[in-house]
């Protein structure tokens, strides 16, 4: 395993999904989200990247929110490698699953209700796998306040948790709490509540920032899938200036807009999306970014093991790797 001279960030091509790695000069590795876990010749997987680099231990595993295109690939990593620390969104409220599971047997696999049941089961399995191997699990609420938002510091580098903090609303979690308070509801009502979680989980998404001491405003902002209302709230308390912005929610207009780009003023925006799904949005991205002097890059443009350097210096950023 060759160690980077500086902190190196790799934005992987996992199709429609997020998987981003921070490789510190010490060799410590942080994985933010894991993609959907699907394997294909034209895309990568975080476990494949880690194995190519000869890495057998993941120092930090971070999940921004509960959607399969961020969660599922983490299960593969947890089954294969030692994970020292994990930062997860929250504990799932205890719910009576008997009635909905019997009803879910007849649901379409692609229905929002069915997808939520699968997501919750996968999240529980991730927690079980991590606990089984002795990972130190921390809920992100431990980092949700001013002066206590730092996940780790290593030399001049620092990774901070910017959102959500203690006073920020969590609409997705509130849906789960309502479902838990309902007890044994009629199956249709219960499943209708869960459908609301699928729609609102993005509102619960975390945001992280990697910076070097003395170079504030020139770091990398990992936007998860946080939507516009959350960004507006965050920008009121935090300077979002950065050199590289990982565009939230795959560059969709409910999150990646002119207001965010003006606040962050990045030189580069990385959009985690496959080429085929990007085409309807390229014109909007081109107009949006060119008006603000931002170059945008698609993770789907890089095949596995190919990489494109975005920035060099004390923090390097790459598409692929």
For 108-136, letters b (16+ CB in 10 Å) and e give eeeebbbbbbebbebbeebbebbeeeebe
Sheet containing 244-246: which strands, arranged edge to edge? 150-154, 157-163, 207-212, 220-222, 244-246, 268-271, 295-298
Report angle CA 135, 137, 138 to the nearest 5 degrees. 155
Residue 144 pLDDT exceeds 70 = yes
Average pLDDT, the chain: 93
pLDDT digits (tens, 9 = 90+) for 45-100: 999 999 999 999 999 999 999 999 999 999 999 999 999 999 999 999 987 554 34
Write down the H helix ranges in 164-281.
171-181, 187-200, 228-235, 258-264, 275-278
Question: Sorting pLDDT into bands at 50, 70 and 90, what band is 104?
Answer: very low
Is the pLDDT score of 101 beyond 60?
Answer: no
CA distances from 95 to 31, 106, 190 (A): 30, 20, 10
Q: Are 281 and 306 in contact (CB under 8 A)?
A: no
Give the DSSP H or E segment for 154: strand 150-154
Q: Report the pLDDT value the prediction gives residue 180, as an integer from 0 to 100.
A: 84
Strand partners, 8: 23, 316
CA angle 291, 296, 300 (to 5 degrees): 150
Please give the pLDDT value at position 13. Answer: 98
Segment 195-220 mean pLDDT? 96
In the chain, where the domains are located? 7-206+301-320
Q: Average pLDDT, stretch 166-191? A: 81
Measure the CA–CA gap between 80 and 72, rounded to whole angstroms: 14
Element (H, E) at 50: helix 46-52
Q: Which pLDDT value is given to residue 108?
A: 57
């Amino acid at each position: 395993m060759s160690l980077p001279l500086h902190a190196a960030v790799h934005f992987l091509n996992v199709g429609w999904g997020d998987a981003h790695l921070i490789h510190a000069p010490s060799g410590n590795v942080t994985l933010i989200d894991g993609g959907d876990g699907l394997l294909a010749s034209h895309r990568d997987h975080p476990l494949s990247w880690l194995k190519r680099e000869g890495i057998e231990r993941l120092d930090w595993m971070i999940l921004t929110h509960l959607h399969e295109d961020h969660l599922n690939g983490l299960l593969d990593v947890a089954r294969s490698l030692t994970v020292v620390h994990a930062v997860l969104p929250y504990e799932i409220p205890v719910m009576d699953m008997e009635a909905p599971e019997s009803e879910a047997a007849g649901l379409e696999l692609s229905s929002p209700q069915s997808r939520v049941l699968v997501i919750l089961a996968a999240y529980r399995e991730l927690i079980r796998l991590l606990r089984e191997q002795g990972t130190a699990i921390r809920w992100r609420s431990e980092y949700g306040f001013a002066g206590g938002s730092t996940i780790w510091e290593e030399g001049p580098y620092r990774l901070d948790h910017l959102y959500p903090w203690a006073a920020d609303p969590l609409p997705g979690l509130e849906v789960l709490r309502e479902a838990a308070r309902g007890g044994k509801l009629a199956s249709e009502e219960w499943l209708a509540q869960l459908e609301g979680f699928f729609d609102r989980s993005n509102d619960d998404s975390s945001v992280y920032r990697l910076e070097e001491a003395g170079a504030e405003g020139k770091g990398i902002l990992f936007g998860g899938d946080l939507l516009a209302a959350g960004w507006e709230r965050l920008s009121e308390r935090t300077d979002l200036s950065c050199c590289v912005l990982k565009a939230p929610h795959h560059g969709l207009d409910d999150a990646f807009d002119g207001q965010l780009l003006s606040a962050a003023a990045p030189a580069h925006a990385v959009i985690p999306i496959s080429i085929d799904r990007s085409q309807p949005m390229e014109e909007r991205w081109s107009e949006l970014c060119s008006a603000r002097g931002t170059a945008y890059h698609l993770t789907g443009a890089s095949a596995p093991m190919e990489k494109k350097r975005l920035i060099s210096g004390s923090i390097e950023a790459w598409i692929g790797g």
